[in-house]
Structure 1
Amino acid sequence: MMNAVNGNMDDRTRVAYIDDQLLFREALVAVLEDSGLVSVVQSIGHEQTEGRSLRNTAPSVLLLALDAQTHDPMVTLQGLRQTNPQLPVCALVAVDRLDRAREAIATGCKGAVSTAASLNLLIAALQSVSSGQAYVDPLLGGRLLAKAGIRNLSRTNRIGADGDFQPDGGEISKN
């Protein structure tokens, strides 16, 4: 499939995707591929990663679902960090699993995206992490900061008690 922006196949972000939920994995692979901006070079479940290197498919980023039911995704992440230490990882996590997001970032994930994110936001995260930047989607970031007690970010954005961003347009306060 050609890149929707400039028609060049080589410009697509190469993604290896690990998720135990087959239906969701297949659906996400389809929409990522359909975007023309991402090439999913490998799509497997957590149980298929044991002792496996992802180098033969040459992904530029690993998308790792942290909501596995049958395997501990943190064990998968730790194993993959050993066999693929240079591969940047972006975690896909449910909004209510802030503990998983924090643990994944502490274990070396360079990005975290909530399952409530839009496709465009997920693609932006994958591209950012693939190019060496860190990325946390605004919803997760807001909730992580709120959990840490940080509420005021700028003159135009606040984090509400629920962790969601709230524009206020007011002055920065110390609350």
Structure 2
Amino acid sequence: MSERIRIVLVDDQSLFLEGLRTLLSLDDRLDIVGECQNGQEALETCRRVRPSIVLMDLNMPIMDGVAATKAIKQEMPEVNVLTLTTFDDDERVFEALKAGSSGYLLKDTPSKQLVDAIRTVSAGESFLQPSIASKVLAEFSRISTPVKTAEEKPVKLLEPLSSREEEVLVWLSRGCSNKEIAGHLSLAEGTVKNHVSNVLGKLGVLDRTQAALMARDLGLI
């Protein structure tokens, strides 16, 4: 049996917290090791139990989800954070991603997709809900990419991407997990994982969000 995923739940609404615990407890691969109602409690709980992943609400008293995400990732970089929020136009989502969150899901996400996202993020991958991935990338483009002038040189790679790596990058930029990319390209999931690692290395970036931004600059999306 694969190692169980240790989860801390963070939300200031008791009813939602209870429902989330009940839902995730149905999956025997998941262990709920902490429940918190603000970011300060989340930070203290993570120090104590060292979870695999934190499901983090954004708007909470005392310490909000963005500040808590930043504090957790600075102190415990091995702990992955998955942001949960009610609205897909919440500007704080982008702040959470910059703070170190590995992904973003709406609170009304179907249970199967939530569990898939948890498994993806706990494995060290990023997860952007496909329905809002383009919005996230557009916002990151607006706030973090300087305007290019006519004199600037085009983007140069450390090493050219193969045609297969370009295909993987396109699907990655659409918010697809390795498993979903494997399905689209009829490849083994392990093969996709290797391609993703190669793509990140050749682009000179650390994560999938940065890779997606590079894909835009390269004209692939």
Distance 1:14 1:135, change over 3 A: same
State whether structure 2 residue 30 is matched by structure 1 residue 38. Answer: yes
Residue 78 in structure 1 maps to residue 58 in structure 2: no
Q: Which has the higher contact order (CA 8 A, sep 6+)?
A: 1
| Contact 2:85–2:106 (8 Å) recurs in 1 | yes
Deviations 1:41-83 (A, max 9, x none): 1111115427625143231111111132564222222222233
Give deviations 1:152-173, integer Å, cap 9, x for gaps: xx8xxx9xxxxxxxxxxxxxxx
Other structure's SS at 1:35 match: coil
Q: Separation in 2 of the partners of 1:124 and 1:54?
A: 22
Q: Distance in 2 between matches of 1:43 and 1:68?
A: 14
Give the superposed CA RMSD: 3.1
Distance 2:50 2:39 in 1: 20
Distance 1:93 1:52 in 2: 22
Match of 2:6 in 1: 14
SS in structure 1 at match of 2:26: helix
CA contact (8 A) 1:51 1:83 kept: no
Higher helix fraction (1 or 2): 2
* 1:96 counterpart (74, 77, 88): 88
1:87 aligns with 2:44: no
CA displacement at 1:146 relative to structure 2: 5.9
CA gap 1:60/1:24 in 2 versus in 1, 3 angstroms: same
Higher strand share: 1
Seq. identity, % = 26
Counterpart CA distance in 2 for 1:62 and 1:133 is 14
Q: Distance in 1 between matches of 2:131 and 2:61?
A: 23
Identify if the C-alpha distance between structure 1 residues 53 and 83 changes in structure 2 by more than 3 Å, giving closer, same or farther. farther
1:126-164 per-residue CA deviation (whole Å, 9 max, x = no partner) reads: 111111111111122143346669xxxx8xxx9xxxxxx
Corresponding residue of 1:25: 17
Equivalence map 1:1-175=2 (5 Å): 8=1, 11-46=3-38, 48-49=40-41, 52=44, 54-68=46-60, 71-145=63-137
Instruction: Give the corresponding residue for 1:5.
Output: none
Aligned-partner Cα distance in 2 for 1:113–1:127: 13
Equivalent residues of 1:62, 1:87 under 8 A apart = yes
Runs of 4+ in structure 1 off by over 6 angstroms are: none
Contact 1:64 1:92 in 2 (8 A): yes
Aligned residues: 148
Could you tell me which runs of 5 or more consecutive residues in structure 1 were left unpaired when the two chains were aligned.
Answer: 1-7, 159-175
AA of the residue aligned to 2:65: P
Cα-to-partner distance string for 1:92-145 (whole Å, 9 max, x where unaligned) = 122334412211111111111111311111111111111111111112214334
